Chain A
Amino acid sequence: MADEEFSATVRVTDKGSVIELVGTVNRMAKEGMESAYVQAARSPGEIVLDFKKVDYINSTGIAVIVGVLAMARAEQRAVGALRLTDHYKEVFEITRLADFMHIYEDTASVN
């Protein structure tokens, strides 16, 4: 099983932006994630990371997400997480990322 190449697409919603993540979130995702964040930040409102198509997140990927939270903190913008698997929801709770991100269950909540 190999890492699936990471990509991120920004979609503007009524409430802010959704960054649809695809593939493996590891250190290789840093550039794509930050670039997507910058694009999403052009619109006002919350930025939500959609994990529906993410197959694997490792500790270096968590560091990338922490980096996004740091960027958002700098401009006092809220960041959410959408459609995490149960396992990664638990990982977000253990790492306390869930304390800094609103965890959404479905897309209706963020559109």
Chain B
Amino acid sequence: MRKRSKRTGAVRDDSSSSVPDSQTREIEAIEIPPGDTLETILLSSGVPVELSGIEVESEAINRLRGQGVELVVPLIGQGELLGALYLGHRLSDQPYSTDDRRLLGNLASQVAPAMKVAQLVREQQAEAKERERIEQELKVAALIQQTLLPKELPSINGWNVDAFYRPARAVGGDFYDFIQLDDRRLGVVIGDVTDKGVPAALVMATCRSMLRAAAAQHDSPSAVLADVNEHLVPEIPPAMFVTCLYAIIDIEDGQVVFANAGHNLPYVRTSDGVLELRATGMPLGLMPDMTYDERTHALGAGDVMVLTSDGITEAHSPEGEMYGFSRLMGRVAKKTRDEDICSSLVGDLETWTGPGAEQEDDITLVVIRRTASASVSADAFHTGEEALIEFTVPSVEGNERVAIAKVAEAVRSLGFEGSRLEKLKTAVGETVMNAIEHGNENNPDLDVSIRVAVTPQRVTVRVVDNGGDKDIPHAVTPDLEAKIAGDQTPRGWGLFLIEQMVDEVSTARENGHHIVELVMNREGGA
């Protein structure tokens, strides 16, 4: 007897080992097609069936008869036909007796469960192998994507750039990139490759390289996208394409020139509400000879540009409703206390999809915020120092605590702790509080910008507000006796405290801004 795959039977025409090989003959393994009449007969009888007793015809019955099969013994497990034993005529030329059929029936009833177990084991092994293959492929795809996404965010005076990327389990083809074009222009890319896994990751890698090469050649975003499209069309696999938005930001005057190859529209939040930045163009890689609209928008102080991927707008609630553009737009319109738009959007999305929901697609967010009306330094792109964190807080009383927490978290990684950390926290708190109250006069529409940068020797916390038209008072040592005696106001401790807490304090006025820099030496000091 030889085992065959499911629903297939095969045997020699006599099981006696004493019979010479010349008297035996192998019967071809014949599959019983699903729904074949023979299947119905075997399942309904459950016992060995002689083909001569069947009056109907079917594909399987005819083929078995053609092979000289006389008896078919069904192997049935859990109501399913797992296979069958096919027997030809007996060597003795006698018909199969009742005892023969009973014996074969008993044999089949013992073989069937074993076959079922074997089948399940084989299926599970195949599934495990497939799962392992898929997991490996996903790891490769994730590795490609993570390797190519920016390792750090641009640090630009007067701007706050933030990004969020979280791949779906199946790893889609989202990507973003920042390209420093020259001293005052920053290229920003966000894109999404159709498909998932390794194919999408490879196209993403190709597209990213093409974009970088084209960005170095052309000053116009539309020319960059057209160039990439021409190169991508002959390379991209069939039925794949790439949506992509490319913008060039002038960090001095806030002008944004952009072109869009079918990607989600960017949103810009201004003091008057939220705008969509529209520019039309076909996705990359679909057809040659495409042209792309090019538009310009000026970002003012406090304006925020939000770029997203469709993993956000197409996420579903447990009821099956999509997150959608209007909800995204509404969320962008909301000012939060700490203006951490990435966290705010992702938090809202997670609330929408519900706890424990598996992420359907990659989620990518790029948030670019203009914090100052003009660059506060000619050296906008900092060199020689590493920016640890840059963020803004609206000028609302109490937001100094937000600033303290963020700065403390950033400098802890440098080994700042204990007394030194507490002193820096107090200095930051007082400086930001002054910026909110005196510099920006508690106007919640004005932001205070905070940047923490580090060199091997020092940590610098730079606090910028819009109070550049006001005189900067000098710190004086408060006369406590006079204050207690009621001869002076009990207030007036802030500047004094700041000077006492850090190693250096410097102040400046520039382009309408008031800038305070707090410096802590990394060894020793105050």
Contact = CB atoms under 8 A, between A and B. Distances in A.
Given A1-B405, A2-B398, A59-B494, A87 B485 contact: no
B493 A70 contact: no
Given A1-B405, A2-B401, A59-B494, A73 B485 contact: yes
Interface in A43-98: 56, 58-60, 62-64, 66-67, 69-70, 73, 85-87, 90-91, 94-97
A85 B405 CA distance: 18
Interface stretch (B119-127, B151-159, B376-384, B421-429): B421-429
A95 B404 contact: no
Q: Which of A66, A70, A90, A100 counts the most B-chain CB atoms under 10 A from its CB?
A: A66
A3 interface: yes
Contact of B480 (A58, A59, A87, A96): A96
A62 B429 CA distance: 14
Nearest to A65: B490
Contact of A95 (B402, B430, B480): B480
A95 B478 contact: yes
A91 B484 contact: no
Contact of B497 (A66, A85, A95): A95
A97 B422 CA distance: 18
Nearest to B479: A96
Nearest to B499: A94
B419 A70 contact: no
Counting contact residues on chain A (CB < 8 A from B), the size range is: 20 to 34
B217 interface: no
A56 B402 CA distance: 13
B497 A91 contact: yes
A70 B481 CA distance: 9
B400 A70 contact: no
A100 B480 contact: yes
Nearest to A95: B493
Nearest to A67: B490
A67 B489 CA distance: 9
A90 to B, nearest CB: 7
Given A97-B480, A100-B480, A66 B490 contact: yes
B207 interface: no
Contact of A1 (B404, B423, B478, B500): B404
Contacts of B485: 70, 73
Contact of B484 (A60, A70, A85): A70
Given A58-B430, A59-B493, A66 B484 contact: yes
A99 interface: yes
A58 B484 CA distance: 18
Nearest to B401: A1
B433 interface: yes
Contacts of A95: 478, 480, 493, 496-497
Contacts of B500: 94
B327 interface: no
Contacts of A3: 398, 401
Contact of A100 (B433, B484, B491): B484
Contact of A87 (B400, B419, B496): B419
A70 B480 contact: no
Contacts of A86: 419
B480 A99 contact: yes
Nearest to B400: A58
Nearest to B486: A70
A96 B484 CA distance: 12
B426 A63 contact: no
Interface string B393-407: 000001011101100
A97 B496 CA distance: 14
B90 interface: no
B483 interface: yes
B493 A63 contact: yes
Contacts of B478: 95
Nearest to A73: B484
A70 B497 contact: no
A87 B427 CA distance: 12
Interface in B464-487: 478, 480, 483-486
Given A1-B402, A3-B401, A87-B422, A63 B490 contact: yes
Interface in B419-453: 419, 422-423, 426, 429-430, 433
Given A3-B398, A87-B419, A59 B490 contact: no
18 contacts: A1-B401, A2-B401, A56-B429, A58-B400, A58-B433, A59-B430, A59-B494, A59-B497, A60-B491, A62-B493, A63-B490, A63-B492, A66-B483, A66-B490, A69-B484, A70-B486, A87-B426, A91-B426
Q: Which 3 A-B pairs have the closest CB atoms?
A: A87-B422, A59-B493, A66-B490
Given A66-B490, A95-B497, 4 more contacts: A1-B404, A58-B426, A91-B497, A100-B480
Interface of A: 1-3, 56, 58-60, 62-64, 66-67, 69-70, 73, 85-87, 90-91, 94-97, 99-100
